[in-house]
Amino acid sequence: MRILVASVGRDRATALRRATEEYEDRLRRYVRFEAVLVDPARLPDARAREAREREGAALKRRLPGELDFIALTREGERWTTRDLADYLDDMRTYGRPGAAFAIGGAHGLAPGLLARARTRLALSDMTLPHEVARLVLTEQLYRAATILRGEPYHKGP
C-alpha cells in the first residue's frame, strides 16, 4: 500500500519537522510512504482565492490519480484513530493501491481540489498550521499502522 501526504508550506528546520520526519521514517516500515511539499503562493490575503487556486494546481500535479484522494479541511469528517486504521485495512483488503492526503496552505484548499476528494477529513475542530497538521496526520497514520499489526504502540481497545 502507498501513502502520500502532500502539503503546502516551507520546509523549515524546526523541532516540528524533526518530529514529523521521525514518524515518517517509522511509517515507512509499514507502507510505501512519501511526503511532498509544495511552495505557498505568497500572495496578500486580499488575493486568497488566487493563492488557493495556485496552490491547488501545484498539489494536483503531485497527487497520483490511482490513489484515493483525501482532503484535510476543518469541515471534514471526524475520524478516530481506529476509523483511520479501518480505512487502511479496507484499502489493503480490497487491493486498492493507496491514499493521498492533501493539506492546504494558510487559506485552505481550492474548491476544485475539494470537489475531487473522495473524503474530506478534519484532524481537529481547530485550525492547525500545516506543520502541525502534517505531524498529527503522520503520527496518526503510524499509529493506525501499528494497530493493524497488533503492535503495542496502541494501548487502548
- pLDDT tens-digit map of 37-50: 999 999 999 999 99
Dist CA 88 CA 1 (whole Å): 9
pLDDT computed for residue 76 by the predictor: 95
pLDDT computed for residue 155 by the predictor: 62
pLDDT tens-digit readout, 3-46: 999 999 987 778 999 999 999 999 999 999 999 999 999 999 99
pLDDT at 65 over 70: yes
pLDDT at 77 over 60: yes
pLDDT computed for residue 14 by the predictor: 86
Give the pTM: 0.93
Domains of the chain, with CATH numbers? 2-149 (3.40.1280.10)
Q: Is the dihedral of CA 120, 136, 108, 68 positive or negative?
A: negative
If you compute the radius of gyration of the chain from its CA atoms, what whole number of angstroms results?
A: 15
Q: What is the DSSP string of 38-67?
A: E------GGGHHHHHHHHHHHHHHHS-TTS
pLDDT computed for residue 12 by the predictor: 78
pLDDT at 154 over 60: no
pLDDT computed for residue 151 by the predictor: 87
pLDDT tens-digit readout, 86-142: 999 999 999 999 999 999 999 999 999 999 999 999 999 888 888 999 999 999 999
